[in-house]
Amino acid sequence: MQVITSKDNEIVKNIKKLKEKKFRDEKNQFIVEGIKLVAEAIEENSNIDSVVVCEDCVNDGSIDKKLLYEIARFKCVYVTEKIFDTLTDVSNPQGILAVINRKNANVNIDYSQDFIVVLDGIQDPGNLGTILRTVDAAGLNQIILSKETADSFNPKVVRSTMGGIFRVNVIKSENLVETLKEIQEHRFDIVVTSLDARNSVYDIDYNKKVIVIGNEANGVSKEVQDLADKKVKIPMIGKTESLNASVAAGIMIYEYVRGKVK
């Protein structure tokens, strides 16, 4: 097995570039890292370009033999621990990552589902990843992002999705207001959160609804609020005035789930 030892190796340099959105878009690739995510990429039949393995993790048995057998089907690149540390974004890396060729997103909204999640300017990668994970957990197959929302293929987002990135269709909207108007034409109601709302999230039926989760600092944009069919608030009996965006999304998504399982 040939082991790359130089940081100037072209393969190493190209993988490093994928930490930046510009190059992820240019190459149409992204990185998944860690034993679980690489195994899930294989299980979900993702288009894997290559797998990078730290040689020390092979020698010390950190990566189980079953996964090593699975990755042997792909182009495998072995690197020293020092080189792997330049590629990873995590503090305690597991010594394995994969470069995934992004599939072309289906830009058509699936109207067969009766609940759609839309993100309006979410900036924090952790929030975005957690919301994607929650959408996946709720059995939903899509999410719509405004163009101002963070990149869904940012390494931190990908890690936070816990595999949801492989199963949820991410639809980027260049004009969110127009996209929402189109959804309304399919008889969906747009729901936004507002501190001034009379109704709470527990007062509405979540069938044929679109929930819009707004920017962490500024909330849902005024243009989207003006378009909303319903405004609701999340009741808070403590002194905190607002919730983290991913928590707010989780509460509303699981009100939809509760209606399905009761």
pLDDT in tens, 145-194: 999 999 999 999 999 999 999 999 999 999 999 999 999 999 999 999 88
Q: Which residues pair with 50 in a beta bridge?
A: 99
pLDDT bucket at 215, cuts 50 / 70 / 90: very high
Q: What's residue 195's pLDDT? A: 77
Average pLDDT rounded to a whole number, residues 27-42: 95
Q: What's residue 198's pLDDT? A: 87
Query: What token pair was written down for 84?
Result: 């792997």
Q: What's residue 243's pLDDT? A: 86
Average pLDDT rounded to a whole number, residues 234-259: 91
Residue 1 has pLDDT above 80, yes or no: no
- pLDDT above 90 as % of the chain: 81
Q: What's residue 81's pLDDT? A: 92
Q: What is the largest CA-CA distance in the chain?
A: 66
Q: Which residues pair with 51 in a beta bridge?
A: 76, 98
Query: What token pair was written down for 200?
Result: 């709470």
pTM of the model: 0.92
Residues whose CB falls within 8 Å of the CB of residue 254, separated by 6 or more in sequence, listed in order: 134, 138
Average pLDDT rounded to a whole number, residues 212-241: 91
Q: What is the pLDDT of residues 188-214, one digit of tens each?
A: 999 998 878 889 999 999 999 999 999
Average model confidence (pLDDT) across the chain: 93
CA distance 218 to 158: 25
Q: Specify the 3-state DSSP secondary structure of 242.
A: coil
CA distance 49 to 119: 30
Query: What token pair was written down for 232?
Result: 């609701």
- CA distances to 88, 151, 170 from 34, rounded to whole Å, are 10, 20, 22
Q: What's residue 123's pLDDT? A: 96
Select from 182, 244, 139 the least CA-distant residue to 190.
Answer: 182
- The answer to whether the beta carbons of residues 51 and 98 sit under 8 Å apart is yes
Residue 106 has pLDDT above 80, yes or no: no
Q: In this structure, what DSSP letter does residue 219 have?
A: B
CA distance 165 to 136: 9
Q: Specify the 3-state DSSP secondary structure of 49.
A: strand
Burial of 65: CB neighbours in 10 Å, binned 0-12, 13-18, 19+ = exposed
Q: What's residue 237's pLDDT? A: 85
Q: What's residue 117's pLDDT? A: 98
Q: What is the pLDDT of residues 229-240, one digit of tens each?
A: 999 999 988 888
Set out the domains of the chain in order of their start, with CATH numbers.
3-101 (3.30.1330.30), 115-261 (3.40.1280.10)
Q: What's residue 58's pLDDT? A: 80
Q: Which of 8-17, 124-133, 188-197 has the lowest mean pLDDT?
A: 188-197
Q: What is the pLDDT of residues 58-81, one digit of tens each?
A: 877 788 889 999 999 999 999 999
CA distance 250 to 235: 14
Q: What's residue 107's pLDDT? A: 82
CA distance 194 to 181: 20
